[in-house]
């Protein structure tokens, strides 16, 4: 698949049309899907109509939008009017939203062409994309391995070359970890930078929408389009969106202070640790001032996160009761039986596990001991980052302690699965911008991602450092 720039240069030169690009992307996705299961549905009519509109604008002498003619995949937890949005669950198997998410409206207004909805862990709950009710996604790099989760389909769609960019969602690492496992770029923007209107809620204080791409520039372009205040989302921040693409013009990062958390490096071993150390040396070669820093409350992050996110999931998923827009059990004699049977039949094991845990920590007598304490820990973790960013401009770390693992390897051990998010959860709890950029492969050829974290609303600095690193390595995403 071509990059955004290559597509737009070709469109302007009339080497091909937007419709031809859309058909090429759809055909490629159809060919790959039996192997990877990256897409839950393809939107032929919507894609061709959007592409025809781009071609008509060009024929009339109009300007291409920032995403004009660019095929895009969308994680199936983001509402798309007229297209099924299942959240990877049997509960919403036939749900068709009556509206588009704000991110979708902005994407299509910029000329983006949505070719389909990407597979994901059910209700975005998972770290491997094995929790989808419609089967696991397989990593295009190695079909026996997971692509990461929960946005595994979005990452795989880019890695397999069906689209140059895609939209995912991130609650505790669900963009960065799949990006690392699949060898692509993934960006989790500052909480509030992108509207959550139309994103099906998992944990409202943690959920983000963000881009996947084959390179840093394309990720920056997609974020440029979807970022900004939205009156439909009270949590979207009234903060001006800078020109991210302009920030990429400056590749001189000499003197930039980069911190390496000692708590993160203790856990990384083997090839993952080797690639991260090589990346740190590359940053030194670029002229960055690299120093060790401490984020002392990191050890409490997993426990705090899985209390906060499950508590919010318990509240958010109460709406799926069989009454309104969900599936409904046929084995129901009373209202109570209908509720219980519907949720028992149509929610998967991981969703049930998180609802029960969240309900428990919010219950009378346990709220202060668990949920309140977890929020206090969250404040301490946020303070750790604030203190660190008073000393450094950016932080670099691994994305995951290990590369993509084999399908089925951790599925029966929820704790081991949860620990795969140990490096990504802290940034999510603090609400800061974070991203994964490819930094090499293991001896088995499995991708490793370097995580870059910056202060609130400092995506431009994050992109600048990532772009300089990418160009220094001569890196390209797995195709």
Q: Determine the pLDDT at residue 415.
A: 81
Mean pLDDT score, 99-103: 98
Q: Determine the pLDDT at residue 476.
A: 39
Give 200-243 pLDDT, tens digit per residue.
999 999 999 999 999 999 999 999 999 999 999 999 999 999 99
CA nearest neighbour of 172 among 432, 425, 427: 425
> If 0-12 CB within 10 Å is exposed, 13-18 middle and 19+ buried, where does residue 474 land?
exposed
Lowest mean per-residue pLDDT among 276-280, 410-414, 456-460? 410-414
Instruction: Respond yes or no: is residue 169 known to be catalytic.
Output: no
> Phi/psi of residue 297, each to 5°?
-95, 10
User: Residue 219 is encoded by which pair of tokens?
Assistant: 């990720």
Give the residues across from 72 on adjacent strands.
114, 165
Is the pLDDT score of 273 beyond 90? Answer: yes
Which residue has 């799926």 as its token pair? 320
Instruction: Respond yes or no: is residue 81 known to be catalytic.
Output: no
Q: How far apart are CA 228 and CA 104, in angstroms?
A: 13
Is the pLDDT score of 267 beyond 80? Answer: no
Mean pLDDT score, 26-34: 98
Measured CA distances, 37 to 91, 118, 143, 147 (Å): 20, 9, 10, 11
Mean pLDDT score, 364-376: 93
Measured CA distances, 83 to 98, 219, 278 (Å): 9, 24, 44
Give 371-391 pLDDT, tens digit per residue.
999 999 999 999 999 999 999
Give 107-128 pLDDT, tens digit per residue.
999 999 999 999 999 999 999 9
Q: How far apart are CA 374 and CA 311, in angstroms?
A: 11
Q: Determine the pLDDT at residue 446.
A: 98
Q: Determine the pLDDT at residue 414.
A: 82
- From the list 17, 43, 75, 180, the catalytic residue is 75
Q: Determine the pLDDT at residue 420.
A: 85
The mean of the pLDDT values for the chain is 96
User: Residue 456 is encoded by which pair of tokens?
Assistant: 């609130």
Q: Determine the pLDDT at residue 333.
A: 86
Instruction: Respond yes or no: is residue 174 known to be catalytic.
Output: yes
Is the pLDDT score of 418 beyond 80? Answer: yes
CB 344 within 8 A of CB 328: no
CB 238 within 8 A of CB 229: yes
CA 275 to chain centre: 22
- From the list 174, 314, 420, 436, the catalytic residue is 174
The H or E element that residue 171 is part of is none
- From the list 132, 150, 314, 428, the catalytic residue is 150
pLDDT-based confidence at 436, cuts 50/70/90? very high
Q: How far apart are CA 378 and CA 374, in angstroms?
A: 6
Give 320-359 pLDDT, tens digit per residue.
999 988 999 998 889 999 999 999 999 999 999 999 999 9
Give the residues across from 450 on adjacent strands.
398, 437
Give the 3-state DSSP-derived string for 247-288, with helices as H, strands as E and coil as C: HCCCCCCCCCEEEEEHHHHCCCCHHHHHHHHHHHHHHHHCCC
Mean pLDDT score, 1-25: 96
DSSP code at position 184: S
Percent of the chain with pLDDT over 90: 93
DSSP code at position 77: T
Q: How far apart are CA 124 and CA 173, in angstroms?
A: 11
Q: How far apart are CA 122 and CA 118, in angstroms?
A: 12
Q: Determine the pLDDT at residue 477.
A: 43
Lowest mean per-residue pLDDT among 73-82, 322-331, 435-444? 322-331
Is the pLDDT score of 288 beyond 50? Answer: yes
Q: Determine the pLDDT at residue 478.
A: 38
* Domains, in order of start, for the chain: 1-479 (3.90.1300.10)
CB atoms within 10 A of CB 479: 12
Q: Determine the pLDDT at residue 268.
A: 77
């Amino acid at each position: 698949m071509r990059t955004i720039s290559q597509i737009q240069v070709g469109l302007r030169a009339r080497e091909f049309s937007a419709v031809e690009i859309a058909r090429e992307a759809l055909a490629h996705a159809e060919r790959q899907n039996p192997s990877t299961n990256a897409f839950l549905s393809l939107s032929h009519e919507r894609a061709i109509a959007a592409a025809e509109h781009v071609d008509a604008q060009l024929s009339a002498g109009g300007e291409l939008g920032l995403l004009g003619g660019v095929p895009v995949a969308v994680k199936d937890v983001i509402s798309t009017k007229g297209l099924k949005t299942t959240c990877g669950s049997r509960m919403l198997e036939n749900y068709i939203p009556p509206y588009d998410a704000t991110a979708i409206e902005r994407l299509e207004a910029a000329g983006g062409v949505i070719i389909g909805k990407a597979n994901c862990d059910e209700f975005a709950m998972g770290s491997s994309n094995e929790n989808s009710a419609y089967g696991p996604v397989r990593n295009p790099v190695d079909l026996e391995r997971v692509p990461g989760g929960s946005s595994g389909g979005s990452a795989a769609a880019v890695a397999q070359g069906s689209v140059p960019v895609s939209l995912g969602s991130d609650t505790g690492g669900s963009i960065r970890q799949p990006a690392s496992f699949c060898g692509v770029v993934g960006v989790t923007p500052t909480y509030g930078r992108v509207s959550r209107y139309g994103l099906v809620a998992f944990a409202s204080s943690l959920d983000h929408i963000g881009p996947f791409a084959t390179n840093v520039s394309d990720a920056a372009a997609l974020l440029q389009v979807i970022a900004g205040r939205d009156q439909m989302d009270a949590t979207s921040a009234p903060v001006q969106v800078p020109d991210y693409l302009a920030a990429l013009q400056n590749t001189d990062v000499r003197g930039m202070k980069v911190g390496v958390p000692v708590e993160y490096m203790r856990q990384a071993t083997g090839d993952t640790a080797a690639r991260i150390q090589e990346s740190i040396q590359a940053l030194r070669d670029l002229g960055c001032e690299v120093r060790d820093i401490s984020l002392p409350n990191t050890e409490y992050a997993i426990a705090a996160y899985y209390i906060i996110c499950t508590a919010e999931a318990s509240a958010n998923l109460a709406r799926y009761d069989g009454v309104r827009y969900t599936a409904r059990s046929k084995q129901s004699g009373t209202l109570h039986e209908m509720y219980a049977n519907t949720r028992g039949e149509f929610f998967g094991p991981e969703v049930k596990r998180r609802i029960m845990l969240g309900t428990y920590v919010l219950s009378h007598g346990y709220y202060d001991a668990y949920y309140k304490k977890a929020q206090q820990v969250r404040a301490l973790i946020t303070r750790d980052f604030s203190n660190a960013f008073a000393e450094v401009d950016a932080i670099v770390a691994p994305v995951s302690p290990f590369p993509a693992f084999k399908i089925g390897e951790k599925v029966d051990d929820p704790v081991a699965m949860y620990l795969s998010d140990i490096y990504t959860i802290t940034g999510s709890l603090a609400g800061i911008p974070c991203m994964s950029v490819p930094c090499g492969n293991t001896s088995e050829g499995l991708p490793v991602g370097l995580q870059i974290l910056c202060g609130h609303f400092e995506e431009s600095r994050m992109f600048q450092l990532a772009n300089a690193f990418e160009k220094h390595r001569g890196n390209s995403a797995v195709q």
